[in-house]
Amino acid sequence: MRSGVNSARGVARRWLLLVVGLTFLAVLIPFLFWRAEWFGTPLSNAQIGRDLLATSDPDRMQHALSQVADRIVQGDPTVARFYPEVARLADSSVPQIRETAAWVMGQDNSAPLFHQTLLELLHDSQPLVRMNAALALVRFGDSTGHSEILQMLSGEPLLAPREGVLKRRMDVGQGVGSGSLVARIVTESAALDVRAASPGSLARWTAADGARVEAGQPIAVLAPSSKMAWEALRALYLIGTPEDLAAIGPYARGVAGMPPEVAEQARMTMQAIRERAGP
C-alpha cells in the first residue's frame, strides 16, 4: 500500500514540476523575445561594431544604430569610432536602415561626415528617408531640406506604378501605417500593390474606383500622421519662411484627429516666422 502511495506522490510531483516548468517557459520565452527586440538593451562596443555589419538581420542593425544615438546623446566621445559605419549604412538596400541612419546622424551636428551624408540622402527614393534627412539637417542649421519638410505638411501623393484598373482597398479617413496596402492596380497579367510609404491617413482619392489609370498618375493623397506634422512644424519653427504660412495655417486652426499640441506648435511656428520676417 505504501509503495502505491509513494508512486502516486511521485507522479503528482512530476506533474507539478512539469506545470511549473511550462509556466516558467511561458514567462521566459516572451521575455527573451522582448529583450531581443527592445532597442534599449545595452550593447558593448564589440557588439555594436558586430551588429552594424549584420546585413542579414536588420533588427540587430537598427538596435546597434539606436545604441550609437544613445551614446551620442549621453556625450560619450568614444562613439565617434562608429561614425564611418553609420554613414556607410546610408547606402543600405533596406529602407528602414537608411531611415534610422539618417535619424542617428542628426544627433551629432558637429560631424562633417554626417552633414554631407544627410545632404545625399535628400535624394533617396523613399519619402521617409528623405524626411528624416531633412529634419536631421535642421540640427546642422541647414535648410536644404526645406521643401521636403513642407511636403510633410501637405501630404504624400500615391502614384499608380503602371497602367491598369484601380481597385481601392481603403476608405477616406482611414489610418495607414508605413507599408499599408491602399490600392491595387489590376492589369491583364497581374495585380500590383500600392502601399503607403509613410504613416498617416487617407485624405482623398484622386481617381475613381474601377477607373483605368496611367503609370505615374496620382490616385490618392495621404495626410501626415500627427507626429509627422508636429516634427515638420518644429523644424519650420527654425527654418520656415513667410511663404510657408499658408501651409501651416490649417494646423494652427486645428485638424480633425490631431492632438491640440499640434495646433499649439503650429501657432508658435507662425509667430516665430513672422518675428523673423520683421514688420
Q: Which of 124, 148, 152, 114 is nearest to 134 (CA)?
A: 148
Domain of 247 in residue numbering reads as 230-277
Q: Are 183 and 168 in contact (CB under 8 A)?
A: yes
Residue pLDDT, tens place only, 196-217: 888 888 989 999 999 999 999 9
| CA separation for the pair 71, 118 (Å, rounded) | 20
Residue 185 inside a domain? The answer is yes
Higher pLDDT, 29 or 144: 144
| Together in a domain, 199 and 262 | no
Which residues have C-beta within 8 Å of that of residue 135, sequence separation ≥ 6? 106, 145, 149, 231, 232, 235
| Together in a domain, 161 and 214 | yes
**Side-chain-side CA neighbours of residue 231 (13 Å):** 20
Read off the pLDDT band of 177 (50, 70, 90): confident
Helix crossing, 226-239 with 245-253: angle to 10°?
130
Residue pLDDT, tens place only, 136-164: 999 999 999 999 999 999 888 899 999 99
Residue 194 inside a domain? The answer is yes
pTM, entire model: 0.78
Read off the pLDDT band of 9 (50, 70, 90): low
pLDDT for 76: 93
Q: Which of 233, 225, 271, 228 is nearest to 251 (CA)?
A: 233
Domain count of the chain? 3
Phi and psi angles of residue 63, each rounded to the nearest 5 degrees, phi first: -60, -45
Query: What's the chain's average pLDDT?
Result: 87
pLDDT for 207: 94
Edge-to-edge strands of the sheet including 212-213? 191-195, 181-186, 164-168, 212-213
Residue 136 inside a domain? The answer is yes
Residue 17 inside a domain? The answer is no
pLDDT at residue 12 is higher than 90: no
Residue pLDDT, tens place only, 59-79: 999 999 999 999 999 999 999
> What is the CATH number for 59?
1.25.10.10
**Cα distances (angstroms) measured from residue 224 to each of 68, 78, 95, 138, 233:** 28, 37, 19, 19, 12
| Together in a domain, 49 and 130 | yes
pLDDT at residue 23 is higher than 50: no
Go through 21-38 and write b for each residue having 16 or more CB atoms within 10 A of its CB, e for each that does not.
Answer: eeeeeeeeeeeeeeeeee
| Together in a domain, 52 and 134 | yes
| Together in a domain, 207 and 237 | no
